[in-house]
Amino acid sequence: MPLIALTGGIASGKSTIARRLAEHGAVVVDADQLVRDVQEPGSAVLDEIVAAFGEGVLRADGSLDRAALGAIVFADEGERRRLNAIVHPAVRAASAERFEAAFCADPDAVVVYDVPLLVETRVDDPWELIVVAHAPASVRSGRLVDSRGMSASDADARIAAQAGDDARLAVADVVIDTAGTLEHTLAQADALWERLSV
């Protein structure tokens, strides 16, 4: 019952690798989706976020305005830590439930936790392998500008808000180089799957 952590900085190609592993049969648990789930309207987490950051982080329909919240927390490390203290414990609990459910359904499952903030929050968990999707920050910044329409300064701020490449590479058991072609990334993901499924 291998439990694999898949991490990488924003726009590193991590989701591409996760999709490929899922195609091979891995159960992928997406930390970003868990964050969205625990912040649904009516949740205790959303109530805490509003109490901490004000009604301005809500949309008219009562859902979280991620852009408004992002503007606050990506501009101020103290505010980002405040948000993380609210969200991370709920995400940790939700991920543990997903892992347990996957292994209950299939004790031999390969479970991949797609988690951008592994180094910052979960590096000491008992992972069988830590896989890092790696592309230089300059490449990732260009992707954010080209594919997500961010300004260069916004892209650089998002990258700077995460752990640096050196910190991620230092904990890696496997590094998948995502700076080249899509085919090159997928071939490395395929090789990883072969290793996991032996």
Mean pLDDT of the chain: 93
Q: Which tokens belong to 132?
A: 């890092």
Rounded CA gap, 79 and 164, in Å?
A: 19
Q: Which residue(s) pair with 191 in the sheet? A: none
Sole residue written with tokens 């499924």: 197
- Report the pLDDT value the prediction gives residue 197, as an integer from 0 to 100: 79
- Report the pLDDT value the prediction gives residue 142, as an integer from 0 to 100: 92
Q: Which helix (H) or strand (E) holds 142?
A: helix 137-148
Please check the confidence at residue 196 and state whether its pLDDT lies above 80: yes
The answer to whether 194 and 148 are in contact (CB under 8 A) is no
Per the rule left: phi > 0, alpha: psi between -120 and 50, beta: everything else, 189 is: alpha
- Report the pLDDT value the prediction gives residue 120, as an integer from 0 to 100: 84
Which phi and psi (to 5°) does residue 21 adopt?
Answer: -65, -35
Please check the confidence at residue 198 and state whether its pLDDT lies above 80: no
pLDDT band per the 50, 70, 90 thresholds, residue 149 = confident
- The one-letter amino acid code at 145 reads V
pLDDT per residue as tens digits for the range 157-171: 888 888 888 999 999
Sole residue written with tokens 């936790």: 113
Please check the confidence at residue 14 and state whether its pLDDT lies above 80: yes
Q: Which helix (H) or strand (E) holds 4?
A: strand 3-8
- Report the pLDDT value the prediction gives residue 174, as an integer from 0 to 100: 97
Please check the confidence at residue 183 and state whether its pLDDT lies above 90: yes
Taking the model in full, what pTM does it have? 0.89
Domains delineated in the chain: 1-26+110-198 (3.40.50.300)
Q: Which residue(s) pair with 7 in the sheet? A: 132
Residue % of the chain over a pLDDT of 90? 78
The answer to whether 188 and 177 are in contact (CB under 8 A) is yes
pLDDT band per the 50, 70, 90 thresholds, residue 1 = low
Percent composition of the chain: helix, strand, coil (DSSP 3-state, to 5): 60, 15, 30
Burial of 119 (0-12, 13-18, 19+ CB in 10 A): buried
pLDDT per residue as tens digits for the range 28-84: 999 999 999 999 999 999 999 999 999 999 999 999 999 899 889 988 889 999 999
